[in-house]
Amino acid sequence: MRENNLSPEKQTQRFEFLKQKFQEYYKAASPSLKPPPAMTEREFGFLLFPQKIMVRHKAFHDFETFTDSLLSLAPSDVYYSTAYYAHPDLEMDQKGWKGSDLVFDVDADHIDTPCKETHDMWVCTKCKETRRGKKPIKCPKCGAEKIDEKPWLCVRCLIAAKEEVLKLIEFLSEDFGIESDQMHLFFSGHRGYHLHIISDTLKTLDDLQRKEIVDYVLALGLDPAEQGLYQDLLENRHPIVVGPDLTDPGWRGRLARGVYQILTEWNQQQLAELGFTRGAANQILNDRETIKKEWSRKMLWSSFQDKWHINEKVWRNIVEKAMSLVALPAQIDTVVTTDIHRLIRMPETLNGKTGLKASAVEMERLEEFDPFYEPVVFEGIQNVQVTEAPELRLRDQNYGPFADEKVELPLAVAILLIAKGVASPVN
């Protein structure tokens, strides 16, 4: 995925094309846009074409004034504060914080999916070395530390993000008692989802209290012994392992379900990597139906000791892996949740990295929501010159891969490639 090597004049033309198309969209869509709750208490920010300069500390007394500014500026991205302020248009220390929505950003960028090695790229800003895969700490060619990431939209990555959102919703509803009508979910228009919790009870939580919530869903500092997993020494008998059941609430049940998943779904190689001997791994595979039948009624924790001769190291591996299976990934953007002054993307506006709409997702439709179909807003045809780009899907069709070619594409696909910096419009 190589960026266009364009002159400054051509780069300006590229951004002017995007700005024109974004302006056309907002002119047509502005009647259907909705203001966020308590709009007059929010700070707004706009990321402008072509330099991507952020203009913030804006406040609007009515939604008509906001849409007028939106049409006039035609920004690449639109944000508003998760916070409520007495004076949202003043500098930060003068705004008068009144509370903040609790917001979670679940982004595929922070989830370790193997497909990234094939479609993501990075570019060293110093020597221009370009390679596929995860961004290194330092450029292996020149040693520079300033490296630009070039993430791509991928079906597998966004499926992984959706799975984490489903986990998060379960945590918040079952463990924190947050009602579904307090949760508002949006696709970001790029590689993830934003979950807004609008609650009078939670909005006055400070940053440390929000960090406690983050630590809980990530299982940071979680002690298995506090979840009912321990050894019980009975008189004249070997120690037996006592632990939680599958139906236990909170982390007790999650720990049990994580271990159950390992025993009933993992293959021999995965079990061996945890430390099981080859014989024990084979025995688990051979006894899998019995394990499913017996363990689905009650977790038989002592079977680890009696049948498979588990030592302390293997026990630790099993528990750590079980927790990681049911917790949210530790790489998820925790700063978004703990920052009480955060700006978040405004729903129903366009994402400047793709031209896709930041779309509202009904909670009951999350599993069927298609991030490559419903957020597409542009219609028409456009010729573009593409340098290099992986395959991508929009709506029901795949496009690419591309390499140094002029091609006629649906406007939505062309805008995505231009926004990604791998194509330029051709008149």
Name the strands in the sheet holding 183-187, side by side, starting at the edge strand that comes first in the sequence. Answer: 102-107, 192-197, 183-187, 360-361
pLDDT for 235 beyond 70: no
pLDDT digits (tens, 9 = 90+) for 46-82: 999 987 899 999 999 999 999 999 999 999 999 999 9
Query: pLDDT at position 232, please?
Result: 62
pLDDT digits (tens, 9 = 90+) for 214-233: 999 998 888 877 777 766 65
pTM of the model: 0.88
pLDDT for 4 beyond 90: no
Q: For residues 76 and 139, what is the distance between their CA atoms, to the nearest angstrom? A: 30
Average pLDDT, the chain: 89
Of the pLDDT bands very low, low, confident and very high (cuts 50, 70, 90), residue 303 is confident
Of the pLDDT bands very low, low, confident and very high (cuts 50, 70, 90), residue 262 is very high
- Type of residue numbered 247: T
Query: pLDDT at position 55, please?
Result: 94
What is the average per-residue pLDDT within 88-95? Answer: 96
pLDDT digits (tens, 9 = 90+) for 6-15: 557 667 788 9
Query: pLDDT at position 17, please?
Result: 95
CB 425 within 8 A of CB 383: yes
- Type of residue numbered 78: V
Tokens matching residue 88: 């949202």
What is the average per-residue pLDDT within 252-273? Answer: 92
CB 116 within 8 A of CB 133: yes
Query: pLDDT at position 159, please?
Result: 92
Q: List Cβ neighbours of 167 (8 Å cut-off, separation of 6 or more).
A: 217, 326, 327, 328
Query: pLDDT at position 50, please?
Result: 84
pLDDT for 88 beyond 70: yes
Query: pLDDT at position 230, please?
Result: 67
What is the average per-residue pLDDT within 149-177? Answer: 91
